Amino acid sequence: MQALPAPRRSDLTASERASFVGPLDTISVDVFNVPEMSREVQVDAGGRIAMPLIGSIEAGGKTSAELAAAIEAALRQRYVRDPQVTINIRNAVSQVVTVDGQVVEPGLYPVTNQMTLLRAVASAKGLAEYAKLEDVVILRTVDGRRMAGLYNLGSIREGRYADPAIYANDVIVVGDSPQRRMFRDIVGLSPLLAAPLLAILQ
């Protein structure tokens, strides 16, 4: 092969990943043919929005499609014929990842459909000068269980295994941490990882 092949159209679009409305997000609500109902609103701290005719409605934890369906159902009960609602998330402050440890700018960063571990580290302006590539932990809660994955950025960059997807509420810790030390009994001091290691914390 003389050169990298051009990507196909499907390669250029992110795989569908559900995006949820959360507290303090800003969303636009468009009701087809009812301009006085269409508006941009901020979700309150309790995860609810207020709409004309229907009052307060639960938005937090719903996808855009689920929230649109809930508003349509509420409007039907108020004698609006065949309401068609479209929801767009304008500013998703609730969909963030925490990047901490040995990076240039630790902090909270917005999560997109294409967010991966390497991209999250790049969002934090990259690794600090003496950061250890083999000491990267992703903390995630799944079905109420706290889980940790140990990753080696060098192995990902070398193509040994895939760059993992990052989701909202993930915590990425680069460098020494209690979670990283927990893995020492498993991997010893070897910096070479052929695959990520996973553990259940609770």
Provide long-range contacts, Cβ within 8 A and 24+ apart, for 68-71.
71/29, 71/31
Residue 185 confidence (pLDDT): 59
pLDDT above 90 covers what percent of the chain? Answer: 30
Average pLDDT score over the chain: 83
Give the C-alpha separation, 175 to 109, whole Å: 19
User: Is the separation of the CB atoms in 136 and 152 below 8 Å?
Assistant: yes
Mean pLDDT of 162-181: 83
Q: Is 161 exposed, middle or buried (0-12, 13-18, 19+ CB in 10 A)?
A: middle
Give the C-alpha separation, 4 to 48, whole Å: 48
What pLDDT band is residue 57 in, cutting at 50, 70 and 90?
A: very high
pLDDT above 70 covers what percent of the chain? Answer: 82
Give the C-alpha separation, 172 to 124, whole Å: 11
What pLDDT band is residue 1 in, cutting at 50, 70 and 90?
A: very low
DSSP reduced 3-state for 119: helix
One-letter identity of residue 123: S
Q: Extract the tokens encoding 60.
A: 């937090």
What pLDDT band is residue 189 in, cutting at 50, 70 and 90?
A: very low
Domains along the chain with CATH numbers? 26-91 (3.30.1950.10), 96-200 (3.10.560.10)
